[in-house]
Structure 1
């Protein structure tokens, strides 16, 4: 299975930090956000990855490319541990790139991947969304897809006053954490839907999604919404995710994500706790 990682957005909520640096390359503790996403795909058994980029996103390619000068300098300085980390980034996966020339929404970004994907099911992992759980979010979706043979998307409960910020689904429970989705709507008003099950940002899609995207008119915010195209598919399953989700969509969520990952590092967590206590 191949994976598509949309990473073409402008990241306007992080300006001026994202004026020349992609939002997906903002560091979350000690790694760029998009590296966590790629590592999730790899850990789920996917090593053929297409990143959909845009203008001013070249640093994403550079990050996963070989850096001869840096490696030489580290090797000469005897910094073997750091050198190994740098080389591991380069050798993570087979990564290809395609540009979304016009920012017309997530649906259009997925459409840019059609030639690379062909007639096969594929994963979509949003480049600014990090998940954290003992059970990998994407792997759970793959398992459900293999069982039911239909597209599968990750969902979770969100506070009712936040549903207007997400794609929301109405669904019936099938078994365990698996749901059969009845309807989807992108960023609804509170009176438009009775559910608080939000799409997380992880998908396993059947290739007929490309035809559905072509049939989809611009929706919320004048963009071609993937959620609208999903509603046209013949059957979609939702997998309720009970791990942590970090949407790198604003400064607060970005800071929270860095703190969470730093707290998982035994080398620094105690010092971080002592530092934060000064503000409490």
Structure 2
């Protein structure tokens, strides 16, 4: 007799710790941890959400990664990243990213759109390439139950990482692409924008805020500007104010902590999570005061 396939066991969602409701760890914050380490750390700290980077998923294997997170009762809040639309294999790689997001059980694929092609100074052409790439990818993503989330990056990354620099630009692209495409509001990248309040309200009114990520802006900037991010409350950004704007715009999703910082990476992961949860409770939990 041939045995029937086993029915997958249902797993209860992890109950978050007090004051940590809708807090998520982005795995970039604990760069030196494996995915298994990050999952175990979240469970121990009472963090119920986890934002995954594709490199950590690839190290573990897609099926095993999905199983690890599911068995722990964690919610995959996003997958990072798709984008870089000027790359020769952009279409194939972005479709793989959509497939991975669907397999991992998240409906949000973060797009970092890419900078200028090597040797190019044609910024308008690079932006057209991004718009065309997103428009081509959006129907595929929608068909797989995945929302594209365009992340504008601070203008200092325009040449190498993202020719999309403002929330307004990202929203224009999202609206043009349709098929459920929206945006990421990342405090590190958008805090400086004089139109931030208007654009967050615009995004909220259209239901296009798909992800909210937080970290602070530290001075002096390090030699590698990518690593100038810090824990909430350590830098120049009024993060509670931006969180309030996002909430007022109708966003009710997760708050992902995504920090690129060598000192943070060199800190034991359990200590990083203790700081992360303490700051969330102090500055971003319900009733928390603004940080000035």
After TM superposition, the score normalised by the length of structure 2 is 0.23
In terms of fraction of residues, the more helix-rich structure is 2
Higher relative contact order (CA 8 A, sep 6+): 1
In terms of fraction of residues, the more strand-rich structure is 1
After TM superposition, the score normalised by the length of structure 1 is 0.24
